[in-house]
Amino acid sequence: MTTQKNTLIKFDTKSQLAKLIATENITIQHNQVKTASFDTVNRILTLPIFKVQSGDVYDMLIAHECSHALYTPTNGWKKISDDNSLRQYVNVLEDTRIDRMIQKKYPGVVKNYLNGFDILEKQNFFGLNGKDVNTDLMLIDKINMRSKSSNRISFYWSAEDKEWLKKVDALKTFNQVVKLAKDMINWQKKKIEELKKLPDFDDHPFSAYGNGDETDIDSDNSNDENGDSDNNAESNSEFEEAEDEDNSKQSNAHAQGAGGNGGVDPENLKVITNDTFEKNKKELLDGETKYNYFNLPKVNLKNVIVSNKEWIKTWKQTVWQKGDYSDHIPARRLEYVNWLKDSFKKFKNDNKKTVMYLVKEFEMKKSATAYKRATTDKTGTIDPLKLKDYKFSDDIFKRLTITPDAKNHGMIMLLDWSGSMCDSIKQTIEQLMNLVWFCDKVNIPYEVYLFTSEMAGKTNKYRYLDTGDRVKNESKIYNFKHGDGVFEDFNLVNIASHKLKRKQLDESLLYLWHMAEYYNERYTYRNGHIDTYKGDRFSVPDCFWLGTTPLNESLVAMNQIIPMFKAKYNIEKLTFITLTDGGSNSNYGCSKIVNNGEHLTVDHKGNSDTQVVTVGKKQYTPDTKHYRGVMTDLLLNVLKKEHGINTIGFYIVKNLRRMWDLESMIGKYKNWDDKQTKILKLRKQFSKEKCADAVKDGYNRYFLLNGKDLGVENADLSGVNENMKAGKIKQLFSKSMKGRIVSRSLLNKFIQEVA
């Protein structure tokens, strides 16, 4: 049997199997446990992680563990936990009972049991190699192997043995299992005492059932409200009846007996086949992989979203430097405001042709898509021109071409407002504004947010951290509950929206343009450039300073914003866009909120584990365990699959010497040569077009952009004069158009994706 290490579980298949067997839409979790357990309060079934992750062995093990959780009560095991022999016998008889019940209830797993046993038996998982199954095994071992092999091993059964088999086959409840185990042990003890009187007993095969070194393994504990209650295969409410004494998590594990070399002890019998299987079963368990399951916390959007009205209000206070907007603006400040308006107006006018070009492309692609979906049908009205063909064709009716209505489009854009964006913020905002004006022209509902960590006046960062042993939740950004992932405080500032009137939108984008110029000047000034603005330039409000990168936090909020946006505007095709220059704050792991009895605390232990996002009854896990940006990709996949959106990422690369980042953006590759070929191809595209298509989990399209040369260019023929020769004019025109086309390649690819 081939085992696979460090391969993540395919939750979509194995969890569905467990859910079907469990007879309800419970939550399935895989982790480093020895056997199944069921949390009756939160309806969570925890299964072991097996190295074998496909095929009959895994499915057999899942069916077996689910059956334990369904039918084996917890409290009953506590009564026999100190009796090692009884634990051994009960374990075998209980396995026999629950395996029979699950196969009867779900005949589809019978084949898994048959094939799974054959695979394990070939690897001597039960220790049968070199043994005569009729003379070397006690009755309990023969019963065990009869069940495990689905009655396919040829045993000799005495008349007395057959009586025991009838009792085994008649087992219905756990209490009956315990009673029969006690009776069988007493019977077996008497048989051993009789055999020990034989002079050659030391050479008898049963002497292998010794009482030497003991290996204690946790008992098989499943779940039931009452250890005395009866469970049967016809019950459809087993999980509802399963509850331990504190209504919390319960655990099951397989029992194992003792072995040794000092001769068999009637008071301490062990089951050799079960003992061997349990030891070998450890090889099937994955001792390396750990999963950290967490829910997305509920975000208080009213405390997170800063309205456009508040955005403009804050800027007016900064421009006028006073709260009273009627105050006279200082002359030098007014000079800068006028310069800023002229600069913004010029940029807007220069890009009108670009925007209209995108509008034309969008409408053409929409029409082409609709044409491809068009159908032709008969109208029922006779076409006179076809009457002449009535003798050899019944197609004499007029036809009608039906073109389906185009889908309702919508867009949500997310702008990175972190410190690392400083030297490319102007180019990024230029691209963003073109997208805004494009949406405005084609009448697409849209919202644009910048995410920030710096609104200290509205929230207090890091209040999620536990003070002492309690979670401070005073920020009201999240409504944390048990099992939620922990994320930082943040805000989403609405800087543009289709709901804004023309004047309000222009004013909002004007302040955004100011920030683009402000940070661009700060960056270029350090490189010896002279200020280009006029007058007394105002600064940026403290709450809008560049900060950290709460991208993941914003994606958590989008899980609530996107469905509301789609429902409100009847959006059929939503495009979600991120414009960022790197990974989020919490890129790898996620701490988790846990209920510590009286209050909530933060558990940081799962940060190094593989992260699994639980949304309702669905689970999302990355393809590989750890890599840069794993949490962001995971959250994007949640948004894509939960809400059916199209995701586009714009990743700004500022330092070409760090192009080794491309290695993580080429997708899968066969070997080293294939890897280098794909990297080289991406480099060439990036150098030629100033942007490149990359492969990134979570995104439908992922574009790498040159942060040093990202501006949108338009045809510049200002150098043409009446004395210039035709060849020179042609050369100038070609050069201008080339720069224009290259700089627009990003927007063209964007249109191809969203139309």
Confidence bin at 323 (pLDDT 50/70/90)? very low
pLDDT of residue 393: 64
Give SS3 for 331: helix
pLDDT of 2 strictly over 60: no
More confident residue, 25 or 606: 606
pLDDT of residue 211: 46
Q: How are beta strands 470-471 and 466-467 bridged, if at all?
A: antiparallel
Whether residue 490 contacts residue 549, with contact meaning beta carbons closer than 8 Å, is answered with no
Average pLDDT over residues 524-547: 75
Whether residue 12 contacts residue 28, with contact meaning beta carbons closer than 8 Å, is answered with no
Sign of CA dihedral 153, 154, 158, 163: positive
Contacts of 371 (CB under 8 A, 6+ apart): 403
pLDDT of residue 114: 93
Task: Report d(CA 61, CA 112) in Å as an integer.
Answer: 9
Contacts of 577 (CB under 8 A, 6+ apart): 411, 412, 413, 414, 435, 647, 648, 649, 650
pLDDT of 20 strictly over 70: no
Strands (E), 228-374: 291-295, 298-299, 305-306
Structural domains of the chain, ranges and CATH numbers in brackets:
11-289 (no CATH), 298-364+407-754 (3.40.50.410), 375-402 (no CATH)
pLDDT of 401 strictly over 90: no
pLDDT of 746 strictly over 70: no
More confident residue, 89 or 259: 89
Q: Give the chain's mean pLDDT.
A: 75
Contacts of 389 (CB under 8 A, 6+ apart): 395, 396
Give SS3 for 1: coil
Cα-only R_g, the chain? 35
Confidence bin at 590 (pLDDT 50/70/90)? confident
**pLDDT tens per residue across span 297-317:** 999 999 999 999 999 999 988
pLDDT of residue 228: 37
Task: Report d(CA 378, CA 397) in Å as an integer.
Answer: 6
**pLDDT tens per residue across span 703-723:** 887 766 554 444 444 454 556
pLDDT of residue 97: 96
Give how far Cα 52 sits from Cα of 20, 186, 591, Å.
20, 39, 29
pLDDT of 252 strictly over 50: no
Contacts of 714 (CB under 8 A, 6+ apart): 350, 351, 353, 354, 740
pLDDT of residue 465: 53
The top-scoring range by mean pLDDT among 272-281, 553-562, 595-604 is 553-562
- Residue 220: which of 178, 185, 258 has the closest Cα? 178
Give SS3 for 594: strand
Give this prediction's pTM.
Answer: 0.73
Across 86-95, 180-189, 311-320, 364-373, least confident range: 364-373
Count other C-beta atoms under 10 Å from residue 369's C-beta: 13
Count other C-beta atoms under 10 Å from residue 282's C-beta: 10
Q: Which amino acid is at 154?
A: S
- Residue 47: which of 73, 21, 69 has the closest Cα? 69
Whether residue 531 contacts residue 521, with contact meaning beta carbons closer than 8 Å, is answered with yes
Task: Report d(CA 272, CA 126) in Å as an integer.
Answer: 8
**Residue 443 falls in which region: left (phi positive, over 0), alpha (psi -120 to 50) or beta:** left
| C-alpha 495: how far from chain center | 29
pLDDT of 158 strictly over 60: yes
Counting residues of the chain whose pLDDT is more than 90, the rounded percentage is: 27
More confident residue, 493 or 667: 493
Task: Report d(CA 319, CA 328) in Å as an integer.
Answer: 11
Confidence bin at 504 (pLDDT 50/70/90)? very high
Confidence bin at 475 (pLDDT 50/70/90)? low
pLDDT of 222 strictly over 60: no
Task: Report d(CA 455, CA 669) in Å as an integer.
Answer: 43
Task: Report d(CA 717, CA 734) in Å as an integer.
Answer: 10
pLDDT of 480 strictly over 60: yes
- CA atoms in the 13 A half-sphere facing the CB of 411: 25
Whether residue 60 contacts residue 112, with contact meaning beta carbons closer than 8 Å, is answered with yes
**pLDDT tens per residue across span 407-457:** 688 999 999 999 888 878 888 898 899 889 999 998 889 999 999 998 854
Eight-state DSSP code of residue 124: T
| C-alpha 682: how far from chain center | 27
Confidence bin at 561 (pLDDT 50/70/90)? very high
